[in-house]
Amino acid sequence: MSSSLEKNMLILRSSDGEEFIVPEVVAVMSKAIKNMVEDECASNTIPVPNVDANILAMVIEFCKKHDESEAEAASDLKTFDSEFVNRGQEALYDLITAANFRDVKELLDALCQNVAEMIKGKSVHHIRIQFLGYQLFEILTSNFIWNIWCDRDFD
């Protein structure tokens, strides 16, 4: 496979063994991969442990879009970002873990902002339901000082 590989292309192998052929410029948006490439400790195939094929495909999609659209209007990219991160919580946390572990800053920022949007303007009660389902959870409102920040929200 490596013989037929074009120059400036890298193969990323997900934790479950699937391989993705990705332009180097896209792959190095991950600082972790960039470091490996710069240190020349990367062979043609770069293993991406802890990230399965499903999530890796999403991360690559994000990086490709950001690589292509440098000239595009920033607002278009923003729209893409907000649609991209609009996923179920499981996928969201998998993506955050992957983006953090692989050090993809743009993706991490977009994801963190999305989680923040889920909290914004909500009552403590709703935040709890949103993130914890209906599970009971240790909540610190018994600490009276914190109550100051949230008691208006219990109505």
Partner 1 sequence: MSSTGETNDVIDLSQSEPEYDPQPETPSGSKGNDLKPIDRLTEMPDDILSCILSFLSIRDSVKARILSRRWRYICPFMLNLDFDLHTVLGINYKARYSNGDSDMSWEDKSKFVTGVDQFLELYNGQKLDSLRIYFCLGNEYAGYVDRWIRFAIIMKIEKLDFDFSASPESQSNNLYDFPCQLLPQGPPNTCKDN
Binding site residues, partner 1, CB under 8 A = 89-90, 93, 96-97, 100, 108-109, 112-113, 115-117, 119-124, 127-128, 131-133, 135-154
- Both structure tokens of 136: 């009971």
* Nearer to partner 1 among residue 54 and residue 89 (C-beta): 89
- Looking at beta carbons only, is 86 or 123 nearer to partner 1? 123
How far apart are CB 44 and partner 1 at their closest, in Å? Answer: 31
Q: Kindly state the tokens that stand for 132.
A: 């914890």
Question: Shortest gap between Cβ of 10 and partner 1 (angstroms)?
Answer: 26
- Residue 142: CB minimum distance to partner 1, A: 4
Give whichever of 17 and 133 is closer to partner 1, judged by the CB atom: 133
Strands 9-14 and 19-23: antiparallel
CB nearer to partner 1: pick between 21 and 92 = 92
Instruction: Name the strand (E) or helix (H) holding 48.
Output: strand 45-48
Q: Tell me the closest approach of the beta carbon of residue 148 to partner 1, in angstroms.
A: 4
* Residue 44: Cβ within 10 Å count: 12
Q: Per DSSP, what are the bridge partners of residue 21?
A: 11
Token pair 């219990």: residue: 154
Quick check: 37 and 45 in contact, CB under 8 A? Answer: no
